[in-house]
């Protein structure tokens, strides 16, 4: 089965190093979410995966073949296996949707029957049937985004690279495209970059977070969430005393005090339910000025803030 692998990538613009020390692999059926603040190197990495930005050092392999071979014919053959949706879809505003997708199919070397079959199928799946003969320049932003997505997958690529695929979509279009992308994953490698972290969390199997051009986290989304479920937070409306902190650390079910920030004490628990019961008893017995005890949401937003800005307080919460 085809896979994509980045090995020790370094990417630059002139003398400026944009990405360094980057290695990862995506296997078919899996979706990788590429995250980071503006300027972290996401778009540069996406361009490298798409055959548009050759690395200074390192390799990008698709199904074991170097994406940047010295032979132009070989490079063109390998890159036909890739579908790319940049942040700004490369649309021709003077063509109709049907004319544009026909043209994209011809560029990818698809014969007429294959083009028509793919075009009919995608117009149905992405609900573009009523827009087929409309000029692209007169379409809404959300519809143009779906046309851009159609051109990226028209030729049945093995690797699909999508930069901000959900941007500009209304809630109904978002649900529709989300379902389309879930169905697209079978037998393909998919890489998605987005600032909509909740969408990344729902679409992706794993995330790779970049900061200043370097990876700071690469982890399964499910493991990421599981790693936060054994935290409990206590919000105090008066300063926490040293004696209270000492007693907290010794309570049944508590492993250690993880952090104390802005009146919130974060507790790492061996047994979260047992810890919650012992915290309630201790608050009652000591008359501690505790406003609430809550379990922080295992949110991607929290992890993103902590990794990219150093912010440690977890504001989202849910009941224990």
- What pLDDT, on a 0 to 100 scale, did the predictor assign at position 295? 78
Domain regions of the chain by residue span? 4-220, 227-309
In CATH terms, the fold of domain 227-309 is Alpha-Beta Plaits (3.30.70)
Distances (CA, A) of 110 to 104, 105, 154, 155, 270: 9, 5, 9, 7, 58
Strands (E), the chain: 4-13, 16-26, 31-35, 57-62, 65-66, 82-85, 159-163, 189-193, 206-211, 214-220, 231-236, 254-261, 264-269, 290-294
Does residue 315 register a pLDDT over 60?
A: no
254-292 per-position pLDDT tens digit: 989 988 877 889 898 888 889 999 999 999 999 999 999
- Using a 10 angstrom Cβ sphere, with 0-12 exposed, 13-18 middle and 19 or more buried, the burial of residue 304 is buried
The answer to whether 295 touches 320, Cβ cutoff 8 Å, is yes
Does residue 318 register a pLDDT over 90?
A: no
Query: From CA 222, how far away is CA 42, in angstroms rounded?
Result: 22
Residue range 122-136: average pLDDT?
96
Does residue 294 register a pLDDT over 70?
A: yes
Pick one of 3.30.70.1710, 3.90.1150.10, 3.40.50.300, 3.30.470.10 as the CATH number of 4-220: 3.40.50.300
Query: From CA 119, how far away is CA 111, in angstroms rounded?
Result: 12
Does residue 312 register a pLDDT over 60?
A: no
Does residue 223 register a pLDDT over 80?
A: no
Helix (H, G, I), strand (E, B) or coil at 49: helix
């Amino acid at each position: 089965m085809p896979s994509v692998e980045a090995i020790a990538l370094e990417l630059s613009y002139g003398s400026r190093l944009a990405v360094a020390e980057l290695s990862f692999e995506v296997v078919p059926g899996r979706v990788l979410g590429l995250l980071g603040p503006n300027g972290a190197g996401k778009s540069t990495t996406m361009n490298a995966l798409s055959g548009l930005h050759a690395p200074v050092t390192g390799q990008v392999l698709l199904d074991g073949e170097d994406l940047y071979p010295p032979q132009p014919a070989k490079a063109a053959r390998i890159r036909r296996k890739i579908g790319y949706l940049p942040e700004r879809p490369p649309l021709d505003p003077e063509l109709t949707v049907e004319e544009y997708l026909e043209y994209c199919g011809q560029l990818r070397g698809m014969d007429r029957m294959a083009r028509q079959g793919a075009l009919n199928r995608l117009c149905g799946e992405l609900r573009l049937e009523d827009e087929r003969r409309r000029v692209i320049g007169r379409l809404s932003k959300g519809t143009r985004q779906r046309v851009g997505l159609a051109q990226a997958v028209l030729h049945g690529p093995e690797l699909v690279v999508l930069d901000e695929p959900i941007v500009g979509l209304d809630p109904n279009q978002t649900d529709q495209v989300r379902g389309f992308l879930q169905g697209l994953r079978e037998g393909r490698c998919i890489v998605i970059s987005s600032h909509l972290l909740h969408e990344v969390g729902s679409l992706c199997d794993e995330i790779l977070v970049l900061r200043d051009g370097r990876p700071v986290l690469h982890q399964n989304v499910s493991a990421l969430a599981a790693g936060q479920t054994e935290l409990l937070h206590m919000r105090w409306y008066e300063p926490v005393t040293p004696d209270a902190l000492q007693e907290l650390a010794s309570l049944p079910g508590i492993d250690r005090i993880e952090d104390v920030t802005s009146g919130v004490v974060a507790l790492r628990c061996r047994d979260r339910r047992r810890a919650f019961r012992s915290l309630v008893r201790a608050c009652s017995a000591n008359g501690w000025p505790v406003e609430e005890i809550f379990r922080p949401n295992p949110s991607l937003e929290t992890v993103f803030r902590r990794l990219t800005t150093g912010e440690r307080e977890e504001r989202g919460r849910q009941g224990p």
